Amino acid sequence: MENMYWMYLSLWKEHDGAPGLGLFAVNAETGEITFCKKLEDRISFGCSFVDKKRNILYICNEDEKVWGVPYDTGRLYGYKISPEDGSLTELFRQETYCPNPSYVSLDTSGDFLIIAHHSTGGAIASLEKDENGSYAPKLSFRESPLELFSLNEDGTLGELLDVKKHAVDPTVFPRGSFLHSAVFSPSGNLFAVCDKGDGCVYLYTIDRERGELKLLSRTMTDVHGARPRCCVFHPTLPYFIINHEQMKDKRMMVCSFRYSENGKVEKISSVNVLPPDCVIPPGSHYEQQGLCISEDGNYIYTCINGPNSIGVLALDGASGALHLVQNVPIAGKWPRGLALIPGGKFVVASCLVSGDVISYAIEANGHLRPTGSTAKLRGGSYMSFCEKS
């Protein structure tokens, strides 16, 4: 069916959300969203990715524990998609050996899969004597690994090939390491990993012959204590953009960077995307969540819970600088997911707590306008699309 897509909406149970997986029909010409059915109502799902060549949905069980497994872990699931009716057939499920797998990505060759882990907070203290002979707590943090898997020809998960861990000094970064995204560049030669723990973005490449991850660079994204969450790459120019889940100085910043294929990174601009009259109240829980970029790369969209809004930024193609052009109120509570509908005419937002799923038309100047098409499903998080047939 021309310009019609299946949309898979991950449902996340934390923060008053609900677990599961929702199936929607989306019209890419009108922005109309129609709820079809709930495909799962027990598993708490997070990031998802559709392999369009193989019609496979890869999706993380972003959770701390899996029932029946003797260690804390999340899972990666693989489902074969039926383009005719959107139904899913499970191909595999694999423990990732760490809690809260937060992001899954496929490299452009389709031979490798990346999983990033947010893990869990808190430190474990072991008592050891210091140089004075007194007992003192030595803190250690749960690992948040970056994993490289091979993929078999049929898209099923192969061998765990390599694991990388970010060494974080707990006296400087007391939260430890918390990886939140792992996003490939348009060339596929490298990918960016946002670490909320130490406030840095890491660029990696894959040594495909050895099946290993190679670190290219590490760059702090903003002020100390900022928590970079999501990254998007410009489709044709050497820029990437990062939003921040939280910041210590009560701002909500989106930053742009220039990069080279060898991993060199240069910061270009940093913009506060809070609505002009918005002040974050003490003790409140404001966060940036979903982030997406227009198909031409000229506009960036980030959703913010607290004020429940979408910040719209324009990107200058010549310099890579950002500037805020619009704040769009969201008629829902705790917007978490934000995605560009294939075809590039609409953006869809999903709300974790209220369950609102809302589409917005992208106007010629990049501004967003509500289409009036809404649906409801509590727990809304990440969204992935597959063309209907």
pLDDT tens readout for residues 173-193: 767 789 999 999 999 999 999
Res 278: pLDDT: 85
Task: Assess if residue 128 is contained within a domain.
Answer: no
Res 37: pLDDT: 97
Q: For the chain, give the percent of residues with pLDDT over 70.
A: 98
Res 41: pLDDT: 95
Task: Assess if residue 169 is contained within a domain.
Answer: yes
CATH of the domain at 57: 2.130.10.10
Task: Assess if residue 172 is contained within a domain.
Answer: yes
Within 13 Å, how many C-alpha atoms sit on residue 25's CB side?
Answer: 13
User: How does DSSP assign 158-219, residue by residue?
Assistant: EEEEEEE-----TTT-TT---EEEEEE-TTSS-EEEEETTTTEEEEEEEETTTTEEEEEEEE
Task: Assess if residue 330 is contained within a domain.
Answer: yes
Confidence check: pLDDT of 249 > 80:
no
Res 106: pLDDT: 97
For the stretch 139-148, pLDDT in tens is 776 789 999 9
For the stretch 344-362, pLDDT in tens is 999 999 999 999 999 999 9
Task: Assess if residue 130 is contained within a domain.
Answer: no
Res 250: pLDDT: 78
188 alpha carbon, distance to own chain's centre:
18
Least confident of 69-73, 153-157, 196-200, 306-310: 69-73
Task: Assess if residue 132 is contained within a domain.
Answer: no
Q: Which domain holds residue 161?
A: 4-120+137-387
Res 1: pLDDT: 56
Least confident of 12-16, 66-70, 382-386: 66-70
Q: Which residues of 358-371 are buried (b: 16+ CB within 10 A; e: fewer)?
A: bbbbbeeebebebb
- Of 66 and 294, the one with more pLDDT: 294
For the stretch 251-280, pLDDT in tens is 899 999 999 999 999 999 999 999 888 888
Confidence check: pLDDT of 213 > 80:
yes
Task: Assess if residue 326 is contained within a domain.
Answer: yes
pLDDT, averaged across the chain: 93
Q: Which residues of 286-307 are buried (b: 16+ CB within 10 A; e: fewer)?
A: bbbbbbbbbeebebbbbbbbbb
Which phi and psi angles does 298 have, rounded to 5°? -85, -20
What is the average pLDDT across 292-297? 98
What is the average pLDDT across 124-142? 82
Task: Assess if residue 9 is contained within a domain.
Answer: yes
What is the average pLDDT across 2-7? 93
Confidence check: pLDDT of 208 > 90:
yes
How many Å apart are CA 192 and CA 170, to the nearest integer?
23
Q: Domains in the chain: how many in total?
A: 1
Confidence check: pLDDT of 283 > 90:
no
Res 123: pLDDT: 67
Confidence check: pLDDT of 137 > 70:
yes
